[in-house]
Structure 1
Amino acid sequence: MEPIDPVYGTATLLLIAAGAVALLLILIMVLKLHAFVSLVLVSLVTAIVVGFDLADIPDVLLYGFADTLGSVALLVAFGVMLGRLLEVTGGAQVLADTLINRFGEKRAPFALGVAALLFGFPIFFDAGLVVFLPIILTVARRFGGSLLYYALPAAGGFAAMHAIVPPHPGPVAAAQQINADIGLTLLVGLPIAVLAWYVGVYLVSKVLAARVDVQLTDVVFGKIEDGTDDADGEGDGQHRLGQRPPAFGTVLALLLIPLVLISCDTVLDTLVAAGTLEEGTGWVDFLGLLGQTPIALLITVLVAILVLGRPNASMAQVSSILDGALGPICAIILITGAGGMFGGVLELSGIGAALSSSLSDLGFSLILQAFVIATLLRVAQGSATVALTTTGGLIAGPAAEANLGEVHLTLLVVAIAAGATVLSHVNDSGFWLVSRFFGMDEKTTLKTWTVMETTLGVSAFAIAAILWVVL
């Protein structure tokens, strides 16, 4: 669907959006109405207030809801199946133990974050997070303390790579719009993303975790197994499936399957966009199909069933385990979809177009314009992708007139991505995914995830701005 022509001016639309967010927070945090019901209700009210034709409102509500469910439901379902198999066979514990033995207890959060940065290079934020979830929870179970010590560095690693570094679609789209070189954007964006993660995520997560105690969640996997079954905590290696946990190499290879498959699709898309490969070639399309996130995770789950499940249990037992993993995630999927519905209503309301037209000439430095425009669009309608692409289109003209060099064009892409990262809140489906995966209520998620996303974006922009002046 296309956004409607705004019925109201930009200021009025912004007030409507702010009022909708305030109403949603009141319903959830004050009146304690269920988040799914609250999101659908506020989406409906907002659609009516902004002036959609009443006959079109069902389609408007389904636009964001269906789009979000289409991308989230399959990967969350396959992801928790994989995670459950890793957990009940001891695979997650093997990964956690190896991680701790290599880096030590004190460096476990740092190690999780570095691993997320590596895995996050080709994998989208939500796919990476759902695959890493059993590892995060297992490490947190072993050492105790606030879950945020382990969750934020890993989630922030995936967020940093997804937002800033090609070949992820957001920075690629922005680079194409302003004619920045994608390869150079990768070379410049990668060290900026890593440094911004360290400052804006890792260091900040220590402060947040010390102040906010989030207990280990059982919403996804039920009771998290720690591999022990006796009073002294040493255990005897017994797990719910099999006598011995799988080898570290087996578990690592299993996790590398989606990484390799999705990487192939990501690289192929980049080569097709660059004109190196021709779209429509049979083998290109086939590898691209295997690399689609739901297909890659489906293949990984099938391999996990064969490698982890069937040697230790009957297919009926394995199916029962997978059924147990799917039950608790219904609420996560529905709430995340409803978050996408709310963001979709704001997107189709025309607020982006109205805000863009009023921000097209802010009268200050081009890199600051890019960051501010992307930030305001992100806050107003929730979607980082929309903020990236819209800002890229707005900045393309001034960037061409400024006759910028290649490095400055890539820094402009980073500034746009940084602005599209900050202030993730209730109109962002990712906000609800993180909230439910880590068992946090809305207030806690605002105090932690929203703050961390903001410090990540601001850190990335600060680095880009310094390089803009120096180079």
Structure 2
Amino acid sequence: MEAIDPAYGTGTLLLIAAVAVALLLFLIMRVKLHAFVALVLTSVLTALAVGFPLADIPDVLAYGFADTIGSVALLVAFGVMLGRLLEVTGGAQVLADTLIGRFGERRAPLALGVAALFFGFPIFFDAGLVVFLPIILTVARRFGGSLLLYALPAAGAFAAMHAMTPPHPGPVAAAEALDGNIGVTMLVGIPIGVVAWYAGVVPISRLMGARIALDVPNALFGEVRDEHGRAAGPGGEAAGPGRAQAGPAVAAGPGEGGAPRPALGERPPAFGTVLALLLVPLVLISCDTVVDTLTTAGTIDEGEDWAEFLGLLGNTPVALLITVLAAILLLGRPRASSMAQVTGLVDEALGPVCSIILITGAGGMFGGVLELSGIGAALSDSLADLGFSLVVQAFVISALLRVAQGSATVALTTTAGLIAGPVAEAQPGDLKISLLVVAIAAGATVLSHVNDSGFWLVSRFFGMDEKTTLRTWTVVETTLGLAAFLLTLLVWPLA
């Protein structure tokens, strides 16, 4: 759908958006209305307030909801199936033990973040977070303390890679709009993204983990049962000083050396098997992103059969489907008494994520209403001539668009289009254009809040209420974006 012609001025539209956000927070945090109901209700009221024709409002609501849920539902469903199999077979524990063995117990959060940077290079934020979730939860259960210590570095790493580095679609689209070189943008975006993560996410995560207690949610993957239908054992009971038992992912009774025993059989998979499974979506999705990038650059002719086949295999839901099937064959079936037991385990994993999918879709609905309301266009027109330097203008416009309508992708592409004219007149080199892309991405990262579907995904995956998510994830996204922008400013005079 296309945005309507605004019936009000920019100031009025921004006021409507601010009142809508305030109403949503009031309904959820004070009235305690379910987030899904509150999001849909606020979306309807906002659509009425900005002046959509009454007959068009159902389509307006469906626009953001369908777009978001269409991508999130399959990712979350296949992701929790994979996570369930990794949990109950001991695969997540094996991977966690290996990571900690290499980095050390005190560096467990850093180990998760570094691994997420590697996996996040070709994989979208939400897909990477879904695949990595069981590992984050397993490490957090093992060492205890606030979940934030382990969750925020990993989630922040995925966010940094997704926002700032090609071949992710946002920076690629911005580079194209500015006539930049995608290869140079990648060479610039990767180091800035990594340093911004280390400077803007890691220390803040430690601080928040020390101050805000957040327990590991046990409900996400459901209750594990053994082959006799018995509960797999106590979840979250103390397993020694400073450690928590692996809860829903273990069978009753200790294995060798007192370590938790997998719920499916007594033979945890080899580290190589688990790593190979995690590399399946990484390789497949990488093929898709590389082919897309080369096609966009004109290196590969559009419509090549082999390229389209790789694109199909690398489509994120298809890649995750293939990974789940491989996990069933390599992890689940060899350790289960029957295929029915494996099916029962993955089926139980789907129940708890229904709420996550609906709330995330409703968050997309709210963001879609704001996008189609013309708020972004009106704000863009008023910001077109700020009088700042190009790099500052890129960040400010992108940040304001991000806050106003929620979508980082819309903020990226709209800002790039707005400054494309001045950039063409200035004729900067490829390096400065790449820095402009990073500045735009930095602005599109800050201040994730209730009009951003990613906000709700993080909130529900890590079992946080809205207030805690605003105090943690919103702050981390903001410090990440600010760190990236400051790095860009430091390099700008040298380019």
TM-score, with structure 1 as normaliser: 0.98
Structure 2 Cα separation of the partners of residues 281 and 338 of structure 1: 37
**Of residues 324, 328, 340 in structure 1, which corresponds to 2:352?**
328
Which residue of structure 1 aligns with residue 331 of structure 2?
A: 308
Equivalence for 1:251 = 274
For 1:423 and 1:131, the matched residues in 2 are separated by 25
Corresponding residue number in structure 1 for 2:294? 271
Residue in structure 2 matched with residue 124 of structure 1 by the alignment:
124
Deviation at 1:219, TM superposition (A): 3.0
Three-state SS of the structure 2 residue aligned to 1:94 is helix
Matched length: 471
* TM superposition shift of 1:309: 1.1
1:443 paired residue number:
467
> 1:447 and 1:457 mapped to 2: Cα distance?
16
* Cα distance in 1 between the residues matched to 2:254 and 2:317: 41
Give RMSD over aligned pairs: 1.2
Partners in 2 of 1:319 and 1:231 — Cα distance? 25
Q: Find the residue that maps to 2:448 and give its secondary structure.
A: coil
Question: Which residue identity does 1:446 align to in structure 2?
Answer: L
CA distance in 1, matches of 2:283, 2:254: 41
Contact 2:285 2:314 in 1 (8 A): yes
Matched residue, 1:89: 89
2: CA distance between counterparts of 1:151 and 1:72? 19
Residues 141, 226 of structure 1: 8 Å contact kept = no
Instruction: Name the amino acid aligned to 1:358.
Output: S
Structure 1 unmatched ranges of 5 or more: none
Which segments of structure 1 move beyond 2 Å, counting only runs of 4 or more?
222-238
Give the C-alpha shift of residue 227 in structure 1. Answer: 4.7
The answer to whether the Cα contact below 8 Å between 2:218 and 2:248 also exists between their aligned partners in 1 is: no
Aligned pairs for 1:216-295 within 5 A: 216-222=216-222, 223=235, 224-225=247-248, 227=250, 229-230=252-253, 234-235=257-258, 238-295=261-318
- 1:99 equivalenced with 2:123 (yes/no): no
SS in 2 for 1:310: helix
1:237 positional shift:
5.9
| Aligned twin of 2:49 | 49
Distance 2:219 2:59 in 1: 31
Pair 1:30–1:358, CA change in 2 (3 A): same
1:109 aligns with 2:109: yes
In structure 2, C-alpha distance between the alignment counterparts of 1:246 and 1:184, rounded to whole Å:
41
CA displacement 1:35-60 (0-9 Å, x = unmatched): 00000000000000000000000000
Shift of residue 243, structure 1, vs aligned partner: 1.7
- Runs of 5+ consecutive residues of structure 2 not aligned to the other structure: 223-234, 236-246
Letter in 1 for 2:384: S
Aligned-residue offset at 1:87: 0.2
Q: What are the equivalent positions in structure 2 for 1:376-391 lying under 5 Å apart?
A: 376-391=400-415
**What CA distance in whole angstroms lies between the structure 1 residues aligned with 2:260 and 2:470?**
40
> How many angstroms apart in 2 are the aligned matches of 1:418 and 1:66?
27
Give the distance between the partners of 2:54 and 2:259, measured in 1 at CA: 63
Match of 1:8 in 2: 8
Inter-partner Cα distance in structure 1 for 2:261 and 2:60? 52
Matches within 5 A, 1:74-223: 74-222=74-222, 223=235
The Cα of 1:234 is off from its aligned counterpart by 4.3
CA–CA separation in structure 2 for the residues paired with 1:446 and 1:236 = 36
Question: Does the 8 Å contact 2:84/2:349 carry over to 1?
Answer: yes
Measured after TM superposition, the shift of residue 124 of structure 1 is 0.2
- For 2:451, which of 427, 432, 442 is the aligned residue? 427
1:469, 1:200 → 2: CA distance? 22
CA distance in structure 1 between the partners assigned to 2:6 and 2:260 by the alignment? 63
Cα 1:236–1:379 change in 2 (3 A) is closer
Asked whether the 8 Å contact 1:40–1:342 carries over to 2, the reply is yes
Counterpart for residue 453 of structure 1: 477
Q: Indicate the residue corresponding to 1:408 in structure 2.
A: 432
Determine the structure 2 residue equivalent to 1:372: 396
Amino acid corresponding to residue 240 of structure 1 in structure 2: A
